[in-house]
Amino acid sequence: MSYPYQIRSFEEYQVAYKKSVENPESFWEEIASNFKWHKKWDAVLNWNFNEPKVEWFKGGQLNITENCLDRWVEIQPNAPAIIWEANNPDEKDRTLTYKELHQQVGQFANVLKNNGARKGDRICIYMPMVPELAIAVLACARIGAIHSVVFGGFSAQSVSDRIQDAQCNIVITADGAFRGNKTIPLKSVIDEALITCPSIQKVIVLSRTGIAVSMMNERDTWWEDEMKKVADAPLCPAEIMDAEDMLFILYTSGSTGKPKGVVHTCGGYMVWTNYTFVNVFQYQSGQVHFCTADIGWVTGHSYIIYGPLSAGATTLMFEGIPTWPNAGRFWDIIEKHKVEILYTAPTAIRSLMAFGKDPIEGKDLSTLKVLGTVGEPINEEAWHWYDDNIGKNNSPIVDTWWQTETGGVLISNLAGVTKAKPSFATLPLPGVQPVLVDENGNEVSGNNVSGNLCIKFPWPGMLRSTYGDHERCRTTYFSTYKNLYFTGDGCLRDSDGDYRITGRVDDVLNVSGHRIGTAEVENAINMHSGVVESAVVGYHHDIKGQGIYAYVILNSMHTDEAHMRQDISQTVAKVIGAIAKPDKIQFVSGLPKTRSGKIMRRILRKIAEGETSNLGDTTTLLDPLIVEEIKNNKL
């Protein structure tokens, strides 16, 4: 099996890129014809960035699961589709061939139908990293239901917000999840969330950990029992979808308000995840691809499930964490399953780096051919450690820049095909037209320049809307600069024309590769009854990339500070999830504000970074003295 649209040399990249810009419609039409469609599209592309309206392959009919499953069952029924490695290394791994996965998906799709699911329904999935999570996702797509996967680390409140926003009618969950030496009670989080979610009719519960759960009459049912009921039924046929029908919603944080539901559609997303998977990682038939992300994030959607499976690849799913039972776990998995492509995050690399070389000693990593990184800028030290110790200077590293909103990779080198450069994502993929703009919205041309990163032409995998609030999609991404999609990232283009992403320019933090809005954390902190006001900023953190620094005004300064810090952290964990707990909480008597009442975050950011001079102009502040107090008590 080979991919006719796989770019194999720098010259081919240049030809493809040029064609994608000069003649995007015929470029994408040719690529899209490699997939299984029931009816051809009426138009390759309709678009304007003002509404915004973006349609790819409109009128085309397909089902993404036929492209991920049925297509491969015909060609390679016994090829492994999913290899699963359990949290506990003593538990046996599992392999599902394409035939088996197809069968499980078809069966679980029948379960969903039996429980009242129909095309267009929204289904919330809150599960551990087990094959049934992938089966649940694909079964939704099979029947045309829209999945909304929520990461298992989010709190009941966060789950409830997301279920209500999308008005889901079904939840798929498990009794619990194993993560390292912990057992996380997923079902009880769902029970708490559902108190405020009247739209939910059914909860399907996979048994994974065996911990005690309460099952509510009529509403809750076991996955295993439901599967038995449909054991003899014919497998569920694929629902015919329009290319522009919704495939999924995935919630992500922004600079204001609650997380928004990014909407992706069937046709364009399929083509984009497949095209980027095959080209960025240079996937070759039979290779084992190990993406270490959780399926609760977009990386898992695109590069554990849809990209690899639509390419007939073998995708490895790992239930646990990189440091349990010890810091050699990734390397054991690579040796055991002969992994050829490893795709992970800088934060994971840095945390493993901290354990030194011992955990790698004696591990056979010789199967590795391609290494990938994603989620945040990678510092040069981590890049070289990855290159020297994991790739043995023999595996190209792809630094892949993209976002939940972009569906798949937009800027990256192509493994071994275009050159790598430490800490640079390098060049745009065919179809991607990046521009840098200055603060006045003017395009900065030429090389050796920096600016805010925008994209000026649609690509098939881009978001179509934010669920239930299209205007929010317009204001967030398409109104800052006219006729441009604004990414929220700062970026520079060096003398070679290579792109280096420098990080967010808005109030969004990137903590261990997780995207968290400062406003969200502030709202959570302010829910604590002892808090008057707070301001949250990011600061450099050696392992996490960014840490969360909170400045908090209490309504009484006489309480036990250590205890208060714990309480506030607990509140944040309850409202958002443990991933958003502040790393530092400094109690202050006031915040630096302008006369119009705006918090001067610029100053707070600098103090959190440890700067003492050069705080900029503070004379316009309502109370300039507060800056001295905050500086003197910095943590």
Q: Is 298 in the site for ligand WT7 (CB under 6 A)?
A: yes
| Max Cα-Cα span within the chain | 76
Q: Is 226 in the site for ligand WT7 (CB under 6 A)?
A: no
The CA dihedral of 413, 263, 153, 519, to the nearest 10 degrees, is 90
Q: Is 290 in the site for ligand WT7 (CB under 6 A)?
A: no
> From CA 177, how far away is CA 187, in angstroms rounded?
9
Q: Is 421 in the site for ligand WT7 (CB under 6 A)?
A: no
436 forms beta bridges with 444, 453
Q: Is 576 in the site for ligand WT7 (CB under 6 A)?
A: no
In the bound state with ligand WT7, the residue whose beta carbon lies nearer, of 444 and 505, is: 505
Q: Which two tokens stand for residue 366?
A: 């010789």
Residue nearest to ligand WT7 (CB): 404
Mask 467-496, x = binds ligand WT7 (CB under 6 A)? --------------------xxx-------
Q: How many binding residues for ligand WT7 (CB under 6 A)?
A: 22
CA atoms lying within 13 Å on the CB side of residue 161: 19
Q: Is 383 in the site for ligand WT7 (CB under 6 A)?
A: no
287 forms beta bridges with none
> From CA 275, how far away is CA 253, in angstroms rounded?
27
In the bound state with ligand WT7, the residue whose beta carbon lies nearer, of 143 and 463, is: 463
Amino acid (1-letter code) at residue 27: F
Chosen residue from 169, 274, 395, 400 binding ligand WT7 by CB under 6 A? 400
CB of 228 to ligand WT7, least distance (A): 38
Residue 107's H or E segment, with its range, is helix 98-114
In the bound state with ligand WT7, the residue whose beta carbon lies nearer, of 65 and 400, is: 400
Specify burial of residue 634 (Cβ count, 10 A radius: 0-12, 13-18, 19+): middle
Q: Which two tokens stand for residue 616?
A: 């900029």
Question: Contact region for ligand WT7 (CB under 6 A) — 15-23, 127-135, 371-379, 617-625?
Answer: 371-379
Residues 323-362 that bind ligand WT7 (CB under 6 A): none
Q: Which two tokens stand for residue 247?
A: 């495939």
Contact between 148 and 248 (Cβ < 8 Å):
yes
In the bound state with ligand WT7, the residue whose beta carbon lies nearer, of 313 and 501, is: 501
CB of 71 to ligand WT7, least distance (A): 26
Q: Is 425 in the site for ligand WT7 (CB under 6 A)?
A: yes
Contact between 389 and 360 (Cβ < 8 Å):
yes
List Cβ neighbours of 311 (8 Å cut-off, separation of 6 or more): 3, 274, 277, 278, 283
Chosen residue from 52, 375, 396, 538 binding ligand WT7 by CB under 6 A? 375
Residue 282 has phi, psi (to 5 degrees) of 50, 50
Q: Distances from the Cα of 180 to the Cαs of 213, 319, 325, 389, 598, in angstroms?
A: 21, 9, 7, 24, 43
Grouping H, G, I as helix, E, B as strand and the rest as coil, residue 150 is coil
Q: Is 402 in the site for ligand WT7 (CB under 6 A)?
A: yes
Residue 45 has phi, psi (to 5 degrees) of -150, 130
Question: Contact region for ligand WT7 (CB under 6 A) — 95-103, 174-182, 396-404, 468-476?
Answer: 396-404
Question: Contact region for ligand WT7 (CB under 6 A) — 150-158, 211-219, 369-377, 609-617?
Answer: 369-377
CB of 504 to ligand WT7, least distance (A): 5
List Cβ neighbours of 418 (8 Å cut-off, separation of 6 or more): 10, 13, 426, 427
Q: Which two tokens stand for residue 533?
A: 């006001």
CB of 376 to ligand WT7, least distance (A): 5
CB of 225 to ligand WT7, least distance (A): 36
CB of 295 to ligand WT7, least distance (A): 12
Question: Contact region for ligand WT7 (CB under 6 A) — 18-26, 266-274, 395-403, 472-480?
Answer: 395-403
Chosen residue from 151, 178, 272, 401 binding ligand WT7 by CB under 6 A? 401
Q: Which two tokens stand for residue 472?
A: 């929010």
499 forms beta bridges with 426, 493
CB of 156 to ligand WT7, least distance (A): 22
Q: Is 296 in the site for ligand WT7 (CB under 6 A)?
A: no
Among 200, 224, 229, 197, CA closest to 114: 229
Q: Which two tokens stand for residue 572?
A: 């944040």
Q: Is 507 in the site for ligand WT7 (CB under 6 A)?
A: no
Question: Contact region for ligand WT7 (CB under 6 A) — 69-77, 223-231, 397-405, 543-551?
Answer: 397-405
Q: Which two tokens stand for residue 447?
A: 């090389």
Q: Is 147 in the site for ligand WT7 (CB under 6 A)?
A: no
CB of 294 to ligand WT7, least distance (A): 11
Q: Is 252 in the site for ligand WT7 (CB under 6 A)?
A: yes
- Return the HEC string of 223-267: HHHHHHHCCCCCCCCCCCEECCCEEEEEEECCCCCCCEEEEEEHH
Q: Is 374 in the site for ligand WT7 (CB under 6 A)?
A: yes
Q: Is 463 in the site for ligand WT7 (CB under 6 A)?
A: no
> From CA 80, how far away is CA 482, in angstroms rounded?
47
Amino acid (1-letter code) at residue 35: F
CB of 404 to ligand WT7, least distance (A): 3
Q: Is 430 in the site for ligand WT7 (CB under 6 A)?
A: no
Chosen residue from 501, 537, 552, 615 binding ligand WT7 by CB under 6 A? 501
CB of 513 to ligand WT7, least distance (A): 6
CB of 205 to ligand WT7, least distance (A): 28
What does the binding site for ligand WT7 look like in residue numbers (CB under 6 A)?
252, 298-299, 374-377, 399-404, 425, 487-489, 501, 503-504, 510, 515
